[in-house]
Amino acid sequence: MTSARTAPHLLTLVALTGMAALSMNVFLPSLPGMARDFGVEYGVMQLSVSAYIGASAVLQLLAGPISDRLGRRPVVLWGLAIFLLATIGTLLARDVTTFLVFRLVQASIATCMLVPRAVVRDLYDGNRAASMIGYVTMGMSVVPMLAPVIGGVLDEAFGWRANFAMMGLLGVIVMAIAWRDMGETVRGGGIPLRQQMRNYPVLARSVRFWGYCGAATLSSGSFFAYLGGAPFVGENVFHLSPAQVGYFFAAPSIGYLLGNAASGRWSAVIGMNRMILAGAIICLAALAAALMADLLGHVHPFIFFGAIAVMGLGNGMVLPSANAGMMSVRPELAGTASGLGGALAIAGGAALSALAGAMLQPGAGATPLLVIMTGSAVGALMSILWVMRREAQLNRMG
Q: What is the pLDDT of residues 147-160, one digit of tens each?
A: 777 888 888 888 88
CA distances, 204 to each of 61, 125, 154, 220, 372 (Å): 14, 21, 45, 21, 27
Any domain includes 4:
no
Kindly indicate the confidence band of residue 142, based on its pLDDT and cuts at 50, 70 and 90.
low
Q: What is the mean pLDDT of the segment spanning 19-33?
A: 83
Is residue 310 one of the residues assigned to a domain? yes
- The DSSP secondary-structure symbol of 236 reads I
Percent of the chain, pLDDT > 70?
86
Contact of 82 with 134, CB cutoff 8 Å: no
Answer yes or no: is pLDDT of 377 > 90. Answer: yes
State mean pLDDT over 212-216. Answer: 90
In the predicted structure, residue 283 carries a pLDDT above the cut 90: yes
295 part of a folded domain: yes
> Per the domain annotation, does 297 fall within a domain?
yes
- What are the pLDDT digits (tens) for 197-209? 666 677 777 788 8
User: Which residues have a Cβ under 8 Å from the Cβ of 297 and sit 6 or more positions away?
Assistant: none
Asked whether 207 and 329 are in contact (CB, 8 A), the reply is no
Calculate what percentage of the chain has a pLDDT beyond 90. 23
Domain assignment of residue 299, yes or no? yes
Q: What is the pLDDT of residue 194?
A: 66
pLDDT at residue 331 in the model: 65
pLDDT at residue 29 greater than cutoff 60: yes
Residue-wise pLDDT tens digits, 305-337: 899 989 989 998 998 888 878 777 766 666 667
User: Domain count of the chain?
Assistant: 1
The DSSP secondary structure of 37-96, one letter per residue, reads HHT--HHHHTHHHHHHHHHHHHHHHHHHHHHHHH-HHHHHHHHHHHHHHHHHHHHH--SH
Per-residue pLDDT, averaged over 68-82, amounts to: 89
pLDDT at 85: 96
Look at residue 3 and tell me if it is in a domain: no
Question: Is the per-residue pLDDT at 91 higher than 90?
Answer: yes
CB 282 within 8 A of CB 316: no
Say which DSSP state 8 is in.
P
The amino acid present at 124, given as its one-letter code, is Y
For 355-359, what is the mean pLDDT?
75
Least confident of 187-191, 252-256, 283-287: 187-191
Give the CATH number, domain containing residue 137.
Answer: 1.20.1250.20
- Report yes or no on whether pTM surpasses 0.85: no
Q: Is residue 378 part of a domain?
A: yes
C-alpha–C-alpha distance, residues 106 and 374, integer Å:
30
- Full domain range(s) for residue 61: 10-397
